[in-house]
Amino acid sequence: MTELLFWLDIFGTVVFALSGALMAGRFKLDPFGVIVLAAVTAIGGGTIRDIILDAPVFWLANSYYLWVICLTALLTILFIRRPKRIPTRFLLIADAFGLALFAVVGTEKALSLGAPIPAAVVLGTITGVAGGMIRDVLCNVIPLILRQEIYATAAMLGSSLFALLSWYGQDHTLTLIAAILTTLLLRLAAIYWRVSLPAFHIRDKDNDS
C-alpha cells in the first residue's frame, strides 16, 4: 500500500512539474525559471499541507522529489521546443491529473496523521490546488481556482469521497483509485464540455443603459 502511494505521489509530481514547465515555456522563461515554476507547481500545495499539519515537509525529508522535478523540467526543455504550439487543453489535462492525484494523496496523509475528516478534506484540496495557484500568480495569470471553471470543486469532491469511504472502512486501494478517478473525470468533463460555476457579478450602475 505504501508503495502505491509512493508511485502515485511521484506521478503527481511529474505531471504537475510538467504543467509548470509548459507554463514557463509559454512565457519564455529561462531554464532556471522553468525549474522554479515546475518546482512551485509540484511541491507548493504539499508544503503548505505539511506546515499546517506540523509534519516534516516531504521534499526536505526525501530529496528525490527535487530530482524528479529537475529531470522533468530539463526533459521538457529538451524535447518540447515550441510550447506555444502545444494546445492549451494539453496543459489543462496535465494539470487535471496532478490535481486528482495530489488532492486524494493529500487527504490520505492528513487522515493518517490524525486530522478530522473536514480538516483532511480542506488539506487535500489545498494540496491539489495551491501549487497551480502559485504558478499562475507568478505568471500574472488569474488562478484557475478563482475562475468559473470547476477546479477546486472537483478536488474537494474527490477528497470528500476518499475521506467518507475510508471512514466507512472500504478497501484502501479501491478507495484511492475511486477518489482519484472521480476527481479526474470531473475535471476532464469540465474541460471538455466547458462546464463552469456561475460567476458572481456586480453591475456598475453608471454603466447601466
Contact 159, 176 (CB under 8 A): no
Q: SS3 helix, strand, coil % of the chain, rounded to 5?
A: 80, 0, 20
Contact 169, 144 (CB under 8 A): no
Query: Distance between terminal CA atoms of the chain?
Result: 62
Q: Give the C-alpha separation, 63 to 72, whole Å.
A: 15
Question: What pLDDT is recorded for position 65?
Answer: 97
C-alpha cell at 170: 472500504
Question: What pLDDT is recorded for position 201?
Answer: 73
Model-wide pTM > 0.85: yes
Question: What pLDDT is recorded for position 160?
Answer: 98
Q: What is the DSSP letter of 83?
A: G
Question: What pLDDT is recorded for position 123?
Answer: 98
Q: What is the DSSP letter of 7?
A: H
Three-class secondary structure of residue 90 per DSSP: helix
Q: Give the C-alpha separation, 110 to 48, whole Å.
A: 12
Three-class secondary structure of residue 196 per DSSP: strand
Q: Give the C-alpha separation, 1 to 9, whole Å.
A: 12
Domain ranges in the chain are 2-194
Closest to 2 in 3D by CA, of 170, 173, 165: 173
- pLDDT, one tens digit for every residue, the chain (209 residues): 478 888 999 999 999 999 999 999 989 999 999 999 999 999 999 999 999 999 999 999 999 999 999 999 999 999 887 666 777 788 889 999 999 999 999 999 999 999 999 999 999 999 999 999 999 999 999 888 887 679 999 999 999 999 999 999 999 999 999 999 999 999 999 999 988 888 777 876 665 54
Helix orientation angle between 2-26 and 117-138, rounded to the nearest 10 degrees? 30
* Strands, E assignment, 68-158: none
Contact 182, 161 (CB under 8 A): yes
